């Protein structure tokens, strides 16, 4: 069971794919975003993207960063749960003290109870013996 849990956690804890490194600038490339309107001539090289696609790209980039954060947090929680399970397993594997076992406590109680009855009967018999002879 523990091996299965460890293997599941190890599979879930695989690192996310790394984000690609940004490309180096290309010659005559625009230094940053350039606002181009219909009929304008661009003064630098670049790729014209529709505004909605650019906004979608930025939203996906933000989503990817938050997804990475959530996955890292889930990994932390999984490792905490695993360490918590290991601690409970170690605690459960410790030997139980002899007098803390229910069967031993029951047997000791039964033995003490039976001994009390026998001792009480013997004491009554010892007291009654002299009286019997009268």
CA 39 from chain center: how many Å? Answer: 59
Pairwise CA distance, residues 52 & 26, whole Å:
25
Q: Is residue 115 part of a domain?
A: yes
Angle (CA) 96-100-106 rounded to 5° is 130
pLDDT at 119: 94
Unique residue bearing structure tokens 């938050």:
66
Token digits of residue 106: 């029951």
pLDDT digits (tens, 9 = 90+) for 67-108: 777 777 777 777 777 777 777 777 777 887 888 888 888 999
Question: Do 102 and 90 reside in the same domain of the chain?
Answer: no
Question: Do 88 and 101 reside in the same domain of the chain?
Answer: no
The β-bridge partners of 29 are 45
pLDDT at 15: 65
Unique residue bearing structure tokens 């009268």:
134
- Tell me the pTM: 0.36
Domain that holds residue 105: 97-126
What lies within 8 Å, CB to CB, of 47 at 6+ separation is: none
Q: Is residue 38 part of a domain?
A: no
pLDDT digits (tens, 9 = 90+) for 6-27: 555 555 556 666 767 777 877 8
Q: Which of 92, 88, 65, 83 is nearest to 9 (CA)?
A: 83
The β-bridge partners of 45 are 29
Q: Is residue 56 part of a domain?
A: yes
Instruction: Report the domain count for the chain.
Output: 2
């Amino acid at each position: 069971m523990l091996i299965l849990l460890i293997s599941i956690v190890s599979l879930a804890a695989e690192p996310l794919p790394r984000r690609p490194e940004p490309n180096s600038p290309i010659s005559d490339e625009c230094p940053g975003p350039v606002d181009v309107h219909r009929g304008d001539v661009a003064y630098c090289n670049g790729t014209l993207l529709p505004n909605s696609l650019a906004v979608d790209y930025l939203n996906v980039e933000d989503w990817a960063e938050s997804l990475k954060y959530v996955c890292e947090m889930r990994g932390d929680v999984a490792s905490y749960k695993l360490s918590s399970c290991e601690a409970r397993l170690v605690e459960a594997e410790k030997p139980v003290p002899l007098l803390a076992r229910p069967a031993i406590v029951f047997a000791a109680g039964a033995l003490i109870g039976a001994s009390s009855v026998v001792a009480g009967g013997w004491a009554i018999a010892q007291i009654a013996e002299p009286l019997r002879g009268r």
